[in-house]
Structure 1
Amino acid sequence: MTQEETTLVDVSARRPDAGGERGNLVRYSVLASLARLADEGARVGLVLLAVETTQSAGFGGLLVASIMLPHVVAAPLVGAVADATSRRKLFYSGALLVYAAALALTAVATGSLPRWVAVAAALAAGCVGPLLSGGLTSLLNELVPGRLRSAYGIDSTLYGLAGIVGPSAAALLAGAFGGRIAVYCLAGSAATASLLLWSLPLARRDRSERNRLRAANVLGAAKVIIDRPALGSVTLGSCLGQLGAGALPVTATLMAQRAHSTSLTGVILSLIALGALAGSLLYVYFPMRSWSPENAILVCLLATAVPFAAAAVFHDTPAVYLPAFAISGLVNGLMFCSLLVVRGREAPPELHTQVFTVGAGLKSASGAIGSAVAGGVAGGGVAALLAGVSLCHALGGLLGAAVLRAPRRRRLLDTTRCGSAR
């Protein structure tokens, strides 16, 4: 066990509430929930707004793509700027305010101004989007250094809650007051998070502490991911797993069509989300301390392949595939908590935020690719799609293990050669 790992595992037991960490975590949880609720809800709210004002679901899809694509492209740059800035309260609060203003402008422009204005506003919101996910998570290292494992578990729970509550709240508000009001409310949620961020005790960095923004630093996280086997292993494994997870909305829709039940899509996706939420809560109370987090991630990836394989074989039997989806979500919740632990442990201080934003961006990209591929091969049937999802998770676990073990094998080989030379 490394020194860093020991810190993550044991310090919380020795320092029950050093420096008001419990209060920091409560304030962080509230603002992170509000920010992510806006981010998750926007993906539904913008589609409903577009359908309501332009009668075009396709334009709604374009708006969602516009707000999601920059999550991937802008992640290295916004992460590098966050690591380089000395006034992080101002930077993060400003980013949340930009997101809120851009989302509100998208609502104003959709249906009343040229479409390119709405698309440009959505793109602007997406450019700061990585700070609402991985960027906020990276702050936990400073806010609660003595209870990081439980904090990462709670943060994973917040992701799960936002994924459930955000879209539901957007749909309910749109149904009651219209799509434009729904998006305004989501923008207000992000703006409130911007104000609450000023309550966090983020110290101003001096020149010696902060990372100067240089071109090389923008790609620094990529180099760290490649150079550090544990981080590279879990990044590769989780991205392959997310490639399969991205196919699930398409798969669930096809299953609903086969069963002649439009509600089945929501049931399946809700079971996965609730399972993930349960897994995150389980991790908060029973963190997997007996395993290194990178090994736990790889085991979880392999374990997740099993329920998806069962669902592929018994895709006409709800008594089998419904519990299988819930179990897959449970294991994924445990895995995501461990993934945050590895990122926090392996990210160097000068690239801390960038590692989190790039990791989140890569997962988003993988999910988008998985959705696109699933849509293209949907004609192959439900069983084939579920088998593909299972295969992605299995490959993630196996290839991740290969990356993790490769340096160890190399060291053993070098040691053997040195011994033979003597």
Structure 2
Amino acid sequence: MNSASTGNPDTRAPALMKRRRGALGRYVFAATLVRSADGGAVVAIVLLAHASGLPNWLAGLLGASITAPHLLGPFIARRLDTARDGRRVIAFSAVLHGLLLAGAALLIPVTWALWPAVLLFVSGVFGPMLTGGISSRLPSIAGPGKRDQRRAQSWDVASYGISGTLGPAAVAWIAATSDALTASLVLAGAAVLGAGAVLVLPRQAPPDHAVAVPSPRQTLRSMSRHGPLRRTLGLTVTVAFSVAALPIYAVAIAPGLGGAATAGLLVAAYGVGNLLGSAGLMVRPLRGDADRLMSSLAVLVAAALILVILAPFLEASLVAFCLAGVANALFFAATLAARSEYAPIESRGQIFIWVGALKIAAGSAGTAVAGATTSPAAWVPLVLAVTLTALATTVSIIDRRRLPFRRGQG
């Protein structure tokens, strides 16, 4: 009798690892597609609005119609925790996002802006399902080991980085070679294709109906009472608010570093840093307690922002922006680890989406505040960002020491 027929663990383990690697590859493909559609949508709509002759303020409102509704995403997220097959919920969200985006794009050149804005608003409500929602599927794909989980989370960070670059870049390229309407429709198609890729991911165990799934408000309340999750939310929101100042700062300092085009180089260096950070995590995943890692890595983000302020010339600024991207990738991986390790199974999807939605809202607020505070001096928004990050980190450390976490008590 051979070892395979007896179920020898030595023969099962390589096959299991191979299946998990295949599932992780499918996950990265699906996540990158749907997140590229979500991340590139604002650029596509704004370009299409400009091409259709709409004024700048109206183009901006149409773009905001996609991002602002992300805050409503958590109120539909409970379905992800109650569904027998969460893949279908995410796939449905991706299809609906794509169809609504396509419908809005087709209407913008031919009708009053209110109607495409309504479609974009509804589309934006489903955006968090394509970011935090799909991330909530990762723990069941990666395997039970902490090292496997951490390595898979590094791939998730890479998916965010790639899609955040690929979506807008693809839109810009297609718009330049064809037109903005085509770019918008291609993004919509990517969302629908990504929905199909989501459906071939491994299925998670169905929910235990003996365990009550909390409402969105109950979930947010429980996060505020649970030390590690409270600190995860606070630090995630603060760092997202802080790093959102970087593109504004890049635009402000670009004329003194060689011209307006330099801003694009600086932002690209930040994106490269994100990818380098996630690649490093694939080789050497984060180790240690996720709660403590978040505090340490938030300090690293603040230090990188200080380097950005102090960089005296273009080459140094490029390096500083790159290091800021690396630091943010490491911090983001720590927040994903915290969400995976501390979120109770009955509300995991909602917690991922709550944190993701509030992170996006904080990033939008950070961009707005940076734009409003740049005029006295370009470095003012980054000084504010460093101060807030340092303050939030200090609060998180005090909170952890004052109320030590005991599993089961929060």
TM over 0.5, shorter chain: yes
Instruction: Kindly indicate whether residue 315 of structure 2 is the aligned counterpart of residue 319 of structure 1.
Output: yes
Q: Deviations along 1:33-92, whole A, 9 cap, x unmatched?
A: 1101111111211111111012423222112211101112x2321221211222423322
Question: Counterparts of 1:35 and 1:21 in 2: how far apart (Å)?
Answer: 21
CA contact (8 A) 1:47 1:64 kept: yes
Specify the alignment match of 2:200 in structure 1.
199
CA contact (8 A) 1:224 1:347 kept: no
Specify the alignment match of 2:64 in structure 1.
65
| Structure 1 position 391, deviation (Å) | 1.9
Percent identity among equivalent residues? 26
SS in 2 for 1:379: coil
Q: Deviations along 1:303-353, whole A, 9 cap, x unmatched?
A: 222232233234x42233221111111111111111101100111111010
| Structure 1 position 394, deviation (Å) | 1.9
Change beyond 3 A, Cα 1:206–1:80:
closer
Question: Counterparts of 2:175 and 2:66 in 1: how far apart (Å)?
Answer: 19
AA at the equivalent of 1:27: R
Q: Which moved more, 1:386-395 or 1:363-372?
A: 386-395
Question: Counterparts of 1:207 and 1:404 in 2: how far apart (Å)?
Answer: 31
Q: Which moved more, 1:75-84 or 1:95-104?
A: 75-84
CA contact (8 A) 2:82 2:207 kept: no
CA contact (8 A) 1:275 1:327 kept: yes
Specify the alignment match of 1:234 in structure 2.
232
Specify the alignment match of 1:414 in structure 2.
none
Q: Structure 1 residue aligned with 2:297, among 278, 297, 300?
A: 300
| Structure 1 position 211, deviation (Å) | 4.8
Change beyond 3 A, Cα 1:209–1:106:
farther
Q: Which moved more, 1:19-28 or 1:29-38?
A: 19-28
Specify the alignment match of 1:399 in structure 2.
395
**Aligned pairs for 1:37-76 within 5 A:** 37-72=36-71, 74-76=72-74
Question: Counterparts of 2:331 and 2:230 in 1: how far apart (Å)?
Answer: 15
CA contact (8 A) 2:66 2:120 kept: yes
Q: Deviations along 1:275-309, whole A, 9 cap, x unmatched?
A: 011111111110122x2122122111112222322
Specify the alignment match of 1:418 in structure 2.
none
CA contact (8 A) 2:39 2:163 kept: yes
Specify the alignment match of 2:123 in structure 1.
125
| Structure 1 position 376, deviation (Å) | 1.5
Specify the alignment match of 2:7 in structure 1.
none
Instruction: Kindly indicate whether residue 381 of structure 2 is the aligned counterpart of residue 385 of structure 1.
Output: yes
Instruction: Kindly indicate whether residue 310 of structure 2 is the aligned counterpart of residue 309 of structure 1.
Output: no
AA at the equivalent of 2:52: T
Q: Structure 2 residue aligned with 1:247, among 229, 245, 255?
A: 245
CA contact (8 A) 1:76 1:219 kept: no
Specify the alignment match of 1:220 in structure 2.
218
Question: Counterparts of 2:395 and 2:209 in 1: how far apart (Å)?
Answer: 39
AA at the equivalent of 1:157: A
Aligned positions, number: 391
Change beyond 3 A, Cα 1:268–1:93:
same
Question: Counterparts of 2:107 and 2:314 in 1: how far apart (Å)?
Answer: 44
| Structure 1 position 380, deviation (Å) | 1.9
Question: Counterparts of 2:404 and 2:272 in 1: how far apart (Å)?
Answer: 38
AA at the equivalent of 1:194: A
Q: Deviations along 1:225-252, whole A, 9 cap, x unmatched?
A: 2122122112211211111112222211
Show structure 2 runs of 5+ residues with no match. 1-11
Question: Counterparts of 1:16 and 1:350 in 2: how far apart (Å)?
Answer: 31
Question: Counterparts of 1:205 and 1:292 in 2: how far apart (Å)?
Answer: 29
| Structure 1 position 259, deviation (Å) | 3.7
Q: Structure 1 residue aligned with 2:98, among 97, 100, 108?
A: 100
SS in 2 for 1:143: helix
AA at the equivalent of 2:167: G
Question: Counterparts of 2:269 and 2:39 in 1: how far apart (Å)?
Answer: 17
Question: Counterparts of 2:405 and 2:138 in 1: how far apart (Å)?
Answer: 34
CA contact (8 A) 1:312 1:384 kept: no
Q: Deviations along 1:187-230, whole A, 9 cap, x unmatched?
A: 00000011222212325736626755xxx512233123212212
Q: Structure 2 residue aligned with 1:278, among 276, 279, 284?
A: 276
AA at the equivalent of 1:128: F
Instruction: Kindly indicate whether residue 329 of structure 2 is the aligned counterpart of residue 333 of structure 1.
Output: yes
Question: Counterparts of 2:160 and 2:236 in 1: how far apart (Å)?
Answer: 16
Question: Counterparts of 2:91 and 2:201 in 1: how far apart (Å)?
Answer: 11
Show structure 1 runs of 5+ residues with no match. 1-13, 411-422
CA contact (8 A) 2:45 2:63 kept: yes
CA contact (8 A) 1:71 1:126 kept: yes
TM-score scaled by length of structure 2: 0.90
Change beyond 3 A, Cα 1:211–1:88:
farther
Q: Structure 2 residue aligned with 1:356, among 339, 352, 355?
A: 352
CA contact (8 A) 1:240 1:395 kept: no
Specify the alignment match of 2:138 in structure 1.
140
CA contact (8 A) 1:86 1:210 kept: no
SS in 2 for 1:261: coil
Question: Counterparts of 2:211 and 2:111 in 1: how far apart (Å)?
Answer: 42
Question: Counterparts of 1:162 and 1:206 in 2: how far apart (Å)?
Answer: 30
SS in 2 for 1:382: coil
CA contact (8 A) 1:25 1:143 kept: yes
SS in 1 for 2:215: helix
Specify the alignment match of 1:261 in structure 2.
259
Change beyond 3 A, Cα 1:56–1:141:
same
TM-score scaled by length of structure 1: 0.88
Q: Deviations along 1:144-181, whole A, 9 cap, x unmatched?
A: 33332111110110000011111111000011110000
Change beyond 3 A, Cα 1:58–1:377:
same
Q: Which moved more, 1:317-326 or 1:366-375?
A: 317-326
Change beyond 3 A, Cα 1:384–1:77:
same
| Structure 1 position 119, deviation (Å) | 0.3
CA contact (8 A) 1:239 1:396 kept: no
Question: Counterparts of 2:362 and 2:62 in 1: how far apart (Å)?
Answer: 19
